[in-house]
Structure 1
Amino acid sequence: MRKLRNTLYVETEDAYLALEGENVVVKGSDQVIGRVPLHTLESIVSFSYRGASPALMGKCAQDGVTLAFFSPTGQFLARTTGETHGNVLLRREQYRRADCAEASTAVARAFIQGKVFNCRWLLERSVRDHGLRLDGERVATASARLQAALGRLESAPDVATVRAVEGNAASEYFGVFGELVLRNREFFSFGGRSRRPPLDSVNALLSFAYSLLATDCAGALEAAGLDCFVGFLHCDRAGRRSLALDLMEELRPVFVDRFVLTLINNQVVGPKDFETRETGEVRIAARARRRVLEQWQARKRREVTHPYLKEKIRWGEVPFAQAMLLAKHLRGDLDGYPPFFWK
């Protein structure tokens, strides 16, 4: 399993990243903001619009350090990659499975089984822990419908059916997601998922954290030798990391949704931490984004017992574990891909 080291987050919007010797240097408009030895980093995530020097991008690609660029609002822009890691035979098998309707359905079904199971678990746990503070009957009804969706997934004959079941399940889940918000409900009201752009503070947090998770999943897949642009559930589209989107489906509820609820319910973020643009877009203020990133990194360092491997790993290592299991399945070492079923 790939060892996690450190991730450098650059939140200053006018920062420029450069390479000096073996160090990453972050420069502001008129001064050096920070300097970090490159060999201590696993990845660099920049929310600056000024970018990075070609020398740094080349060095990161050469040394296997992920360098991902986001807009200041958290929208993914680009990611540097070096030589493709892994076995060409594994990638060829991935392409064959992706072109095979039956094989694609089996893997896509597993991803969505993990997602729906984990969505239901999150609802069930919320009712158990906070039943008096939310509409337990409404949440329990949605949970029951998610359980029924798991049954329909078992017999889903093709990827289109899997997508349809997932869409209905997501509608049920996000229909009651607002019930799980226990603090500042008037401000953190949630009427449903809005993406481009996010139209409320909850959606702004979800979109921001989903973009971070997608980058982690893409790096994990590359480390396992897989092509993150060729998926099973998400169809091919130029520039879209379809397999990374596939892999993150099962991790969204337990990795991001729980994280966002914790930020809100523990009052790590509040009404003053968001800005609304004239277009209606809601974005996280720069001062709050730094706080969110610190909490994200802290969460990735916490330990969890992997439900399939039965080993304690850090949460940040979960995407790497799942990418490894997917590679084992494609090689024929596992009969099926084991989703991350969390309780």
Structure 2
Amino acid sequence: MKKLLNTLYVTTQGAYLAKDGECVAVRVDNEVRLRVPVHTLGGIVCFGQVSCSPFLMGFAAERGLGFSFLTENGRFLARVQGPVSGNVLLRREQYRRADSPEASAEVARSIISAKIINARRVVQRALRDHGGKIDGSALDNEASHLKDCLQRLQQPVSLDVARGIEGEAANGYFGVFDHLILSGGPEFRFVGRSRRPPLDRVNCLLSFIYTLLAHDVRSALECVGLDSEVGFLHRDRPGRHGLALDVMEEFRAFVGDRLALSLINLGQIKKDDFEILETGAVRMTNDARKTLLVAYQKRKQDEIVHPFLNERISMGLVFHVQAMLMARWLRGDVDGYPPFVGK
């Protein structure tokens, strides 16, 4: 299972990936900079101007190894994957449940509830650890607001109502997110979410981490044979991986937001690690991306106690556990999908 933790991120512009026996060779200026055995990898992510040998792609596809291609600043472009594994009956059941408003609303409420709990714990963690440095009243009020949103989701509300509660909770949470940023100065001021493109440093950081999360969650879902494009909370849209976005909601605050806050508050990411383009868009420098990727991989190595299994596992395997639990719910092995709630 350890190989599931290992993702090769290639950020060096002009790099070329090729097959070298049973290994992936990364060449820069015709010089081999890295050689990694294929059997130790769970995925390959290429940023910007990184190209791959077709022989390597075919070799990787035969072994279930997928490639993801992103722009230099982390926007997803495409994914190359071999034949889909898993039972066709599992995917047929996934489609049936997705077509059912009741079943979709049920699993969506579970996922949104976990998302709100994890967001609330980020707020409470800040109050506990930094109560004397931050606006405690604003965070206390938001913690109460998120609790109210969570209580409303305990009722059998429709999918549209659940989405409305999720939006309300997200607005409130990001409305106090600036209070969680304790260092970095005015350059790291956060006034609200902005996407495509991100318009400030914090949004740039969050969007990049969410892209990494989406890659890992999508890979985990496809490993168990689920269709990552057919979701319950996120409905069908061409080119959108709805189920991956569904499951990723559980990890946004626990993994993504906490990692972003740590990088800023500990001074690992600084104002000069970003470039502001003429359009107003903000992107990270190559060195900053490498810093983030190292921190993200280190976070995946951390061990936690999984709330459903009650076993200690590495964070990088939690995505795969959640994918398996989703498959078990669809097969009828468990009564409902148990979303991930961190501590």
Task: Assess same fold via TM > 0.5.
Answer: yes
Q: Which amino acid aligns with 1:206?
A: L
| Counterpart contact for 1:16–1:48, Cα < 8 Å | no
Alpha carbon RMSD of aligned pairs, Å? 1.3
DSSP-derived class of the 1:250 partner: coil
Partners of 1:70 and 1:44 lie apart in 2 by 11
Q: Deviations over 1:295-331 (max 9, x none)?
A: 1111100100011110001011111111111111111
1:209 equivalent to 2:209? Answer yes
Correspondences of 1:101-140 after superposition (within 5 Å): 101-140=101-140
Letter in 1 for 2:12: T
Cα deviation for residue 158 of structure 1 reads: 1.6
Is contact 2:17–2:25 with CA below 8 Å preserved after alignment?
A: yes
Superposed, which structure 2 residues align to 1:102-181 within 5 Å? 102-181=102-181
SS of equivalent residue, structure 2 residue 84 = coil
CA distance, structure 2, for counterparts of residue 340 and residue 37 of structure 1: 32
Q: State how far apart, in whole Å, the 1-side matches of 2:113 and 2:94 are.
A: 20
Taking the aligned partners of 1:335 and 1:287, their CA distance within structure 2 comes to 46
**Kept in 1: contact 2:65–2:82 (CA 8 A):** no
Offset at 1:156?
A: 4.7
Deviation at 1:3, TM superposition (A): 5.3
1:35 maps to a residue whose letter is: R
Once the two structures are TM-superposed, the CA of residue 76 in structure 1 deviates from its matched residue by 0.9
Paired with 1:129 and 1:342, the residues of 2 have a C-alpha distance of: 17
Query: What residue is the counterpart of 1:220 in the other structure?
Result: 220
2:230 alignment counterpart: 230
Cα distance between partner residues in 2 of 1:278 and 1:30: 34
Tell me the residue number matched to 1:13. 13
Question: Does 69-78 or 15-24 show the bigger shift?
Answer: 15-24
Whole-Å separation in 2 of the counterparts to 1:244 and 1:2: 22
Separation in structure 2 between the aligned mates of residue 183 and residue 275 of structure 1, nearest angstrom: 19
Count the aligned residue pairs: 343
Give the TM-score taking structure 2 as reference length. Answer: 0.97
Matched residues in 2 for 1:30 and 1:58: separation?
Answer: 22
Superposed CA deviations along residues 17-58 of structure 1, whole A, max 9, x for unmatched, are 222322212222443332222222111111132421221112
The letter for the 2-side match of 1:8 is: L
1:269 Cα deviation after fit: 0.7
Go from structure 1 to structure 2 and tell me whether the alpha carbon gap of 1:188 and 1:156 turns closer, same or farther (over 3 Å shift): farther
Cross-structure match for 2:56: 56
Cα deviation for residue 5 of structure 1 reads 4.3
Quote the residue 2:279 is aligned against: 279
Distance 2:30 2:44 in 1: 22
**Percent identity between the aligned chains?**
52
In 2: Cα distance, 1:247 partner to 1:17 partner: 30
* CA positional deviation for 1:270: 0.6
Runs (4+) of structure 1 exceeding 6 A deviation are: none
Counterpart of 1:71 in structure 2 is 71
Unaligned runs of 5+ in 2: none
Q: 1-side partners of 2:236 and 2:51: how far apart?
A: 28
5+ unaligned residues in a row in structure 1: which ranges? none
**SS of 1:187 mapped into structure 2:** helix
